């Protein structure tokens, strides 16, 4: 059994494929799990470093 939301997620995925075909993959932002692959903000890196030093 699948949840009602599964259909919505699938439609969003398929819409992303259509938009990439129309506008090009470089012009469509993919915010699915693991995307986009960006570096974290400096504030996050600084806090991780600070916490690691405190151990």
Q: What is the pLDDT along the chain (55 residues), one digit of tens a residue?
A: 567 777 888 898 899 999 999 999 999 988 877 776 788 899 999 999 999 998 7
CA dihedral 26, 30, 35, 36 (to 10 degrees): 50
φ and ψ at residue 52, rounded to 5 degrees:
-65, -35
- pLDDT value of position 42: 96
- pLDDT value of position 6: 75
pTM over 0.75: no
CB 28 within 8 A of CB 16: yes
- Sign for the pseudo-dihedral over CA of 5, 7, 10, 14: negative
- pLDDT value of position 41: 93
Residue 16: closest CA among 6, 30, 27, 4: 30
């Amino acid at each position: 059994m699948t949840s009602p939301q599964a259909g919505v997620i699938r439609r969003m995925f398929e819409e992303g494929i259509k938009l990439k075909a129309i506008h090009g993959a470089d012009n469509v932002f993919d915010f699915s799990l693991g995307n986009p692959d960006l570096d974290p903000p400096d504030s996050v890196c600084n806090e991780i470093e600070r916490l690691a030093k405190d151990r």
